[in-house]
Amino acid sequence: MNLFQSLITIGCYFLGGFPTGVVLTKRKFGLDVREMGSGNIGATNVTRVFGWYAGLLVFLIDFLKGYLPLYGLLKLYPDEPWLLTWSGLALVVGHCFSPYLKLKGGKGVATSLGCLAFFIPQGALLAIVVYGVALAITKISAVGSLSGVLAILIYLAATGPNSAVTWFVFIVALVVIGRHHENIRRLIKGEAKK
């Protein structure tokens, strides 16, 4: 990866860091979602506080924030799988540790899913289905998200795509699980929010 491609990856970090939930709720409702509900900026908390329309809009923008940059980069650099991998990681890390929010951010689910839809669309679809089933059964979003992560890891183990995608999925899974550490703690204690 040359200097210009390194700058592209850095740019993806700043793009991924765009705080959709904060910007949307401030502009549309005049309120800061970080001060409401769970305090998280992602689609789940936005849905919980402002309703399904706002939550879906945040989810779609964060999803596209992961998908569209990689699609564009593929057109520019079709033979650079590791550039796509690093750029995807930068998008997710930017979302989770936003440079615009003093390195605070979301949990990475929607942006990770957007990247996964680019790299392995069948795996992303599986993760969505598993998320939906787990959410329907438990009514707990974190259980759905973590179940989706587990599903994509199992899918990856079964299908074994190229090494760049394997590394991407493994690292992103660790990031997303890490961002859910408080949810995991509450699940263990039986205090998870529905």
pLDDT at position 30 is 95
**Structure tokens belonging to residue 37:** 């509900």
Identify whether 194 is part of a domain: no
Please tell me the pTM assigned to this model: 0.92
Q: Using the structure block, give the residue that is written with the tokens 């650079």.
A: 80
What whole-number distance in Å separates Cα of residue 23 and Cα of residue 33?
A: 9
Q: What is the pLDDT of residue 10?
A: 97
What's residue 163's pLDDT? 79
How much is the pLDDT for 184? 87
pLDDT for the residue numbered 161: 63
pLDDT of residue 194: 60
- In DSSP notation, the chain reads --HHHHHHHHHHHHHHT--HHHHHHHHHHS--GGGSTTS--SHHHHHHHH-HHHHHHHHHHHHHHHHHHHHHHHHH-TT-HHHHHHHHHHHHHHHHSBTTTTTB---SHHHHHHHHHHH-HHHHHHHHHHHHHHHHHH--HHHHHHHHHHHHHHHHHHH---HHHHHHHHHHHHHHHHHTHHHHHHHHHT----
Q: What is the pLDDT of residue 94?
A: 97
Residue 162 lies in a domain: yes
Quick check: is 86 in a domain? yes
Is residue 180, in this structure, part of any structural domain at all? Answer: yes
Domain count, the chain: 1
Question: Which segments in the chain show pLDDT lower than 50?
Answer: none
Q: Which domain holds residue 106?
A: 3-189
